[in-house]
Amino acid sequence: MAESFGVDPARYDRARPRYPEEMVAAIVAASPGNAFLDVGCGTGIEGRQFQAAGATVLGVEPDARMAEFARAGFAVEVAKFEDWDAAGRTFDALVSGQAWHWVDPVAGAEKAARVLRPGGRFAAFWHIFQPPVEISRALSDALGRAMPDSPFSGGYLKNPSLAGYQPLLDKAADGLRASGAFGAIEQWRYEWAQRYRRDEWLDLLATQGSLTLANPGQRDQVLAEVGAVIDALGGHLTANYSTAAVTAVRG
């Protein structure tokens, strides 16, 4: 699945939500300098935000298709973070948006400690989104009909919540703790909402892991069923988001 998100980089970059500017500013302010490493930078969404906030960004991205797209904004090197050669370079901050769960938590934390300068800031963050329950139910039911063997069918996505994501956040924190190289580990949380038109929401759904591995017929069936429910709700919806960050300072 990790290698499926680059199937349509332009759609991914267009549809995926940006990160709260408050969080971006907080990470920049809490870092000792402006040299940032963006691990799993994807199409460059968060990297461009940090760059706009005054950082100089280098991306590391295993998917060459997404890396090529991101290079329109900043330099990107193609590699898995665990295999990436830093060539002696060090950074003031390591950030990772929607990607650190693809990195081995212990090996990744140990490597993060090696590439961060003393006092450097580690920050990995994720979006947890909650659309109206009717939309979540429609997606789960449509996946069950179109892709009955998918792990995402049968209620898996009906009620995403911060509590449901807590094990993922804890795993990242445990990796930092196991490295022995970081100080106190904090979790920062930002609440916000975004309004979507029907086509905007379907565009976003098409970039989710539940559909990037689907064949075109399965994907179109799911999007048509969810789209019909959005139409019945007036053609738009509001999704509530929690953006959660796991962050710590290298000792």
What pLDDT is stored for residue 4 in this prediction?
54
**Rounded Cα distance, 202 and 155, in Å:** 19
Q: In 3-state terms, what secondary structure has residue 112?
A: helix
Six-digit token string for 68:
């090529």
5 falls in which pLDDT band (50, 70, 90)?
A: low
Cβ 12 vs Cβ 5: under 8 Å: yes
Q: Which H or E element spans position 78? A: strand 75-78
What pLDDT is stored for residue 156 in this prediction?
44
- Of the options 3.40.50.150, 3.40.1160.10, 2.60.40.10, 3.40.50.300, the CATH number for the domain spanning 5-130+159-193+240-249: 3.40.50.150
The pLDDT tens digits of the residues spanning 213-240 come to: 778 888 899 999 999 999 999 999 999 9
Q: Which H or E element spans position 178? A: helix 162-179
Q: What is the mean pLDDT of the chain?
A: 91
What pLDDT is stored for residue 158 in this prediction?
47
What pLDDT is stored for residue 6 in this prediction?
57
What pLDDT is stored for residue 121 in this prediction?
98
**Rounded Cα distance, 249 and 93, in Å:** 9
Has residue 84 got a pLDDT over 60?
yes
Cβ 13 vs Cβ 44: under 8 Å: yes
Choose the most confident range, by mean pLDDT, from 8-17, 85-94, 136-145. 85-94
Six-digit token string for 223:
């999007």
Has residue 7 got a pLDDT over 80?
no
208 falls in which pLDDT band (50, 70, 90)?
A: confident
Six-digit token string for 249:
């300072």
Cβ 188 vs Cβ 247: under 8 Å: yes
Question: Can you give the residue ranges of every domain in the chain?
Answer: 5-130+159-193+240-249
**Rounded Cα distance, 223 and 146, in Å:** 10
144 falls in which pLDDT band (50, 70, 90)?
A: confident
143 falls in which pLDDT band (50, 70, 90)?
A: confident
Return the CA Rg of the chain: 18
What pLDDT is stored for residue 250 in this prediction?
98
Nearest to 71 by CA among 86, 50, 57: 57
Cβ 69 vs Cβ 16: under 8 Å: no
Has residue 90 got a pLDDT over 80?
yes
**Rounded Cα distance, 96 and 246, in Å:** 10
Mean pLDDT of 176-201: 97
